[in-house]
Structure 1
């Protein structure tokens, strides 16, 4: 920190704050009473949701100016401010001497990753006191601290507003894709195309087994390692909604008969047969033929279409709100696991339009999905930029680059003198209180 502006100083964090650790309450209740205060646990700290209240007499109390630090757990090093109540057992409250609390809070925001990754403890992580208290703290003149905090509050508020707007985009895109699929499967998407070509709505009510072959996959067992024919195969972990994840591929031993029965052809549909989540049951993807040969396990049901049906049309049908509803209705739930069967998949209803209209539906859905994918790519790029923006602004603030310096400001060296005086006065006060308590205890005896 040698490049700090003139008038700034650097000091170890332990030199400019007092601290108090939270404790477990003797009384904890869901209802607020006259003798209780909000209990600041992790959820209250992160979400500002007060769920419980603790007795006021047995705990350390935080005021709004205290900077709170998560001391224990996976989120150790996370900081907050502006909360009043009983300090939870995993929280530390720190109070700066003569320094702006908001200034300290924003500085510690820049140190979260450093504190969190340099923890101690092998099971539950804890903030390492040696790391935390020896953090170098850049102190600006007090007036400049106020200007920095004011500028930070304005900028970070804008960043948060931008994040909030960006977070709505995935849900909007999901609704858009679902509305496209719904229109595709009800005939609305190609209504103008039929009118233009003077074609009636000739969709046939069939089942999947009428337009293709449904089959199961390979059952995994320990004996398969001994078989000489070892082939790559797809598992449930490789198949997501309209997406294949092939980074983690494995081989399985099969007989020649099993190989021929479960060999995947390009454009085969793969349907997840079982899942603990009803939202994930029946998720479906199209095999792209990128690995050959490739087989599939029994927890993936394969569907191969006939020549009069397009695989991508069936894919879109199963992904649509109609298809999802049919899959969920067909699923059987046992001991928390939702499952489908080959016969149930085969009996699923499907409306099949003439082949030319299927082609047009697929073309239009692909075109609209491509637009949605382009928007999603731009959203991810914008999100990645905005996610880094807060830290970039904070880093700039504590390099002295966010607001201009004022030569009339009292230098931080003078502020440090008052910090030292206040720290000494506090230590004297604490020692005096300790002596008083010891004396009272002696007199009682």
Structure 2
């Protein structure tokens, strides 16, 4: 730090030279599990409590006063500077605000108590340690392979730019104000993703209840072909069933002698409706409009490999309606072939999560061979159904409410494949399905754009904090203040003068060595 260009009145000092004679620089206390007591009266402050400029008050560990005294622990005082000697991030610092009871801290937290006549004020020192320059210095001097850490001796020996005390107070006040504004902006930005999530949920609710296309239906009432559409659907489902049975006959090497087998087609239809949808819409069971298939009926986990064919679970569902395959497990070709023999996958297929995170869906628009975890079932909707519309319905509140009623299990919540087949699906005309999809995609695209801008703004705000601290570190925040207050930064008020007074006071308290007596010849 000696090569830092400093403003007038500033000095360079080691931390150990800048604190007062009654100050403390210490590692936390070595407190093992056997020394702790959940019913103790002494709070044990841990790394989780140390925020990046703020005290987070997260840990819940305690010990008795007897144990603390036996271990010769250092009790914390309000205003002590606490520095995390381990990440993340490494070297973050905050002030101890007090927790309403006696407290000590663990060994991985460095304690600095500046003392009565220190050259550093506590609040200012906290900001200084959190500046990019000091953080980079800490990172460069950290040791360790699995987890980096900084020693207390290195923290103590670092050279810090030291402004006069009056300027330290001015810098701290300005940082308090500026960073409070940044935190306020950050809080508002951090709340926007939740608002966007509710917006998407409201969009799905409006889409699947018919409210999103209410005016469209009024304008297109003369083009309502729902009755004909249902007839087309009935015919399509029968033809699909017939095709699948003929494939099964062929697989078994059989040929039907007559058409009597066609009488076995008995689709399950429903007479009941759904609350909250337009009267002109129809309602059908999911297994009438789609094939709902369990790709893993034996529910055996396959053997995993370092490479091979992707094994998809909800862990691969990313936040953009796509897939994140970066941490995917792999299976052998036999697993792919085994699932392929049971059910067909195509780019219209929908994966529906029925275990754990129930109700999550993805359209399987993947250009790679893959297999599915047993927590997912496959939904292949009929050719006359919009798979995108069905995907939105499966995510919407009408289906979510039914799923809750069908969910079983305590440790692992799940819905059976049979329960998924029984889900009631609202059906508008194919024209309205298309319009619903168009409007939902348009609104979701708008939400995606806003979300991207929020992420960019969050990154800018996070950088802004470091930028403000860097300006303070270089003295740029108080340039005008120094011009207006030269008496407060020069002469006896300069940092150099203050350091000299501390040095003199420390020398007075240091015992002088007695001179050796010469032996007579």
Report if the CA contact (8 A) 2:42-2:104 is conserved. no
Residue pairs, 1:218-257, within 5 angstroms: 220-222=301-303, 231-240=309-318, 242-249=321-328, 250=330, 252-254=332-334
Report if the CA contact (8 A) 1:262-1:296 is conserved. no
1:89 aligns to 2:106 (yes or no): yes
1:47 aligns to 2:47 (yes or no): no
**In the alignment, which residue of structure 2 is the partner of 1:12?**
14
**In the alignment, which residue of structure 2 is the partner of 1:108?**
129
**In the alignment, which residue of structure 2 is the partner of 1:143?**
166
Cα deviation code 1:178-233 (max 9, x no counterpart): 111111111211111112222574222212111111123355534x98xxxx6545
C-alpha displacement of 1:395: 1.3
CA RMSD of aligned residues (A): 3.3
**In the alignment, which residue of structure 2 is the partner of 1:442?**
none
Can you give the 5+ residue segments of structure 2 that lack an aligned partner in the other structure? Answer: 225-277, 512-521
C-alpha displacement of 1:364: 1.2
**In the alignment, which residue of structure 2 is the partner of 1:394?**
469
**In the alignment, which residue of structure 2 is the partner of 1:413?**
496
Aligned CA distance change for structure 1 residues 402 and 181 (closer, same or farther; 3 Å): same
SS across alignment from 1:337: coil
**In the alignment, which residue of structure 2 is the partner of 1:207?**
285
- In the comparison of the two structures, how many residue pairs are matched? 415
**In the alignment, which residue of structure 2 is the partner of 1:288?**
365
Aligned CA distance change for structure 1 residues 252 and 300 (closer, same or farther; 3 Å): farther
In structure 2, C-alpha distance between the alignment counterparts of 1:83 and 1:313, rounded to whole Å: 54
Aligned CA distance change for structure 1 residues 113 and 190 (closer, same or farther; 3 Å): farther
1:333 aligns to 2:414 (yes or no): no
1:65 to 62, 68, 79: 79
Structure index of larger Rg = 2
Cα deviation code 1:291-341 (max 9, x no counterpart): 14444343321111102211111111121223233333333325x222333
SS across alignment from 1:105: helix
1:2 aligns to 2:4 (yes or no): yes
Aligned CA distance change for structure 1 residues 77 and 422 (closer, same or farther; 3 Å): farther
SS across alignment from 2:379: strand
In structure 1, C-alpha distance between the alignment counterparts of 2:46 and 2:311, rounded to whole Å: 47
In structure 2, C-alpha distance between the alignment counterparts of 1:161 and 1:55, rounded to whole Å: 40
In structure 2, C-alpha distance between the alignment counterparts of 1:243 and 1:117, rounded to whole Å: 39
Report if the CA contact (8 A) 1:79-1:105 is conserved. yes
C-alpha displacement of 1:239: 2.8
Report if the CA contact (8 A) 1:269-1:302 is conserved. yes
Cα deviation code 1:88-117 (max 9, x no counterpart): 234332123222221111011124575468
Aligned CA distance change for structure 1 residues 379 and 75 (closer, same or farther; 3 Å): closer
**In the alignment, which residue of structure 1 is the partner of 2:94?**
80
**In the alignment, which residue of structure 1 is the partner of 2:250?**
none
**Stretch moving more, 408-417 or 22-31:** 22-31
Report if the CA contact (8 A) 2:26-2:152 is conserved. no
Give the strand-richer structure, 1 or 2: 1
**In the alignment, which residue of structure 2 is the partner of 1:259?**
340
C-alpha displacement of 1:380: 0.5
In structure 1, C-alpha distance between the alignment counterparts of 2:122 and 2:309, rounded to whole Å: 62
Aligned CA distance change for structure 1 residues 154 and 256 (closer, same or farther; 3 Å): closer
**In the alignment, which residue of structure 1 is the partner of 2:381?**
305
**In the alignment, which residue of structure 1 is the partner of 2:234?**
none
The two structures have a TM-score, normalised by structure 1, of: 0.81
**Stretch moving more, 363-372 or 337-346:** 337-346
In structure 2, C-alpha distance between the alignment counterparts of 1:344 and 1:113, rounded to whole Å: 56
SS across alignment from 1:302: strand
Report if the CA contact (8 A) 2:359-2:395 is conserved. no
**Stretch moving more, 121-130 or 145-154:** 121-130
**Stretch moving more, 359-368 or 49-58:** 49-58
Report if the CA contact (8 A) 1:12-1:136 is conserved. yes
Aligned CA distance change for structure 1 residues 323 and 15 (closer, same or farther; 3 Å): farther
The two structures have a TM-score, normalised by structure 2, of: 0.70
2:428 to 324, 332, 353: 353
Can you give the 5+ residue segments of structure 1 that lack an aligned partner in the other structure? Answer: 429-445
Report if the CA contact (8 A) 1:270-1:303 is conserved. yes
SS across alignment from 1:243: coil
**In the alignment, which residue of structure 1 is the partner of 2:271?**
none
**In the alignment, which residue of structure 1 is the partner of 2:245?**
none
Aligned CA distance change for structure 1 residues 215 and 62 (closer, same or farther; 3 Å): same
Aligned CA distance change for structure 1 residues 99 and 426 (closer, same or farther; 3 Å): farther
In structure 1, C-alpha distance between the alignment counterparts of 2:434 and 2:358, rounded to whole Å: 27
SS across alignment from 1:138: strand
**Stretch moving more, 414-423 or 343-352:** 414-423
In structure 1, C-alpha distance between the alignment counterparts of 2:140 and 2:401, rounded to whole Å: 45
In structure 2, C-alpha distance between the alignment counterparts of 1:363 and 1:350, rounded to whole Å: 19
